[in-house]
Amino acid sequence: MIPWYGGQEKKIEITTGVCLWYRGGQDPLPIRWVLIRCPEGSFKPQALFCTESKVSAPQIVLWFIARWNIEGTFEELRAQLGFETQRQWSDKAIERATPCLFGIFSLVVLMAKTLYPVTLPIRQTRWYFKEEATFSDALAAVRSDLWRGANYSTSAQGADCILIPQAVLHSLVEVACYST
């Protein structure tokens, strides 16, 4: 049994070995290969490789499973902030933009955690159920807080001064917060 995604444990079969990886013009490099398979067939057999040949096969599998948080972060950066789609003409421009996008991502996450320290609101749809909040939920929560703040208030707070009914305004703000 090995710790698996979502805090579960899964029984998998593992076999491993060490071989040499050769690329033209470079010295051969020892790598550990690990083949994993699930006897119940819940995923296809996979091959994992590690340049640290002395690391155990179970540790390599654990590293593979742990990479999910990193991949999720990159996917959200791509989808919500345009990461890896920069159209700059020089390497220096790309080197400036990438840390800024990571900074924006971190800032949004920290602001959402400050606004909702216990439970972040999750937007659900009928066709896709989410158990946990995503970056788009965090971004929408931060947008909503900023857009509803006093910074954008131009008239008195009385209901008689608002030309749009509060419910309609709230719906419009929510749609804008969740747009990508």
> pLDDT of 21-64, one tens digit each?
888 888 999 999 999 998 888 889 999 999 998 999 999 998 88
Q: What average pLDDT is seen over the chain?
A: 80
In a domain, 88, yes or no: no
Query: Quick check: 175 pLDDT over 80?
Result: no
Together in a domain, 102 and 180 = yes
Together in a domain, 119 and 61 = no
Together in a domain, 12 and 50 = yes
Helix count and strand count (H, E) for the chain: 4, 5
Range(s) of the domain holding residue 59 = 2-81
Identify the pLDDT of residue 157: 60
HSE of 49, CA atoms in CB hemisphere, 13 A: 7
CA distance 139 to 146: 11
Show which of 17, 48, 81 is a domain's final residue.
Answer: 81
Query: Quick check: 151 pLDDT over 60?
Result: no
Q: What is the pTM of this model?
A: 0.53
Identify the pLDDT of residue 133: 82
> Helical H runs in the chain?
57-81, 91-115, 135-148, 166-177
Residue 59 or residue 6, greater confidence: 59
Name the percent of the chain in helix, strand, coil, to the closest 5.
45, 15, 40
| Report for 80-89, 96-105, 152-161: range of highest mean pLDDT | 96-105
In a domain, 86, yes or no: no
In a domain, 153, yes or no: yes
Identify the pLDDT of residue 160: 53
